[in-house]
Chain A
């Protein structure tokens, strides 16, 4: 989580968004977690009974990360929080080159 915070801060001025999809926490535990880890980015809360987004993406292990390109194409899917750094930087560089 501190690592994700760094990632968000690094790309503060880039066309980048980190979206959390919380699964399995009770509301109280969720509030506590947000406070403890200083979560500032958008996070969907699915709770414990209904998990439509995890089901749509067939997520089986936690954490799972996906990185999407500017057109929505999935560029990375896996479990490594550090792997996504390079993928995000690469896609942002490509988007920037295209924009020029």
Chain B
């Protein structure tokens, strides 16, 4: 892995907005150590089992592998997360949603039927959770399985029930990108709403980006304002840096 040099200026294709997001929002860890709750404990246990399983799988021969796969961590832990989800733990519901592709017991044909009530439950009961934006991103990533119209309807609802501006903006943004070409008026209405009410979010930046021209960011112009997010979920605005000389470095490690 090398850092791209000046000589190696690389061109990357424009990336479509409707693509599934990879970034997850990580809740900011509190300074004081909080006691580990049941969900965190179960998730930690699962992750450890997964590491162990991966190791065993690597060392196994063909026959052993088949046996290991029949008793994979996802198979063993799925019912436990499911029970927790049914008991009202929203993060367990989100866990099911985010691990459904690894669960071989749920065929891809059946995914929609399993996912839809899970997303509905999250939107109805956990719209005020700090991880709700992650659920909105997951819904967008799973729209194929949930169904396009159903996904848009759920995102519309999420935009209303969500507590944080970021989650509201995310819901409107994904709904707008999904309806995009087929219903440009609706898409524009939602994009405009993001621009008006939630401009100070990452999605506000994305909504503005969809209208940007190269002239907006040439030498002599005032730099377009944007909100950036670090890999840990910390958000900052370029406007906070007025009064300083700022160098922006658009880069990749690839």
- A: which residues have CB within 8 A of B? 1, 4, 7, 14-27, 29-33, 36-37, 42-77, 79-81, 84, 88, 91-92, 95
Contact = CB atoms under 8 A, between A and B. Distances in A.
A1 to B, nearest CB: 5
A7 to B, nearest CB: 7
Interface in B1-51: 1, 3-4, 6, 9-12, 14-15, 17, 19-23
B242 interface: yes
Nearest to A54: B250
A67 B246 contact: yes
A62 B252 CA distance: 7
Contact of B229 (A18, A45, A84): A45
B231 A27 contact: yes
Interface residues of B, number: 57
Contact of B253 (A7, A32, A50, A64): A32
B246 A19 contact: yes
- Do most interface residues of chain A lie in helix, strand or loop, or is the interface mixed? mixed
B222 A23 contact: no
Contacts, number: 206
B53 interface: no
Contacts of A25: 252-254
Contact of A47 (B21, B242, B251): B21
Contacts of A74: 217-223
Given A23-B251, A52-B202, 5 more contacts: A15-B243, A19-B248, A33-B253, A57-B217, A81-B6
A4 B249 contact: yes
Nearest to B248: A66
Interface stretch (B55-63, B77-85, B204-212): B204-212
A94 to B, nearest CB: 9
Contacts of A31: 231
Nearest to A29: B253
The 3 closest A-B pairs by CB, nearest first: A44-B228, A33-B253, A52-B206
A62 B242 contact: no
Given A49-B22, A51-B15, A57-B217, A1 B252 contact: no
A18 B247 CA distance: 5
B145 interface: no
Nearest to A90: B245
Contacts of A7: 247
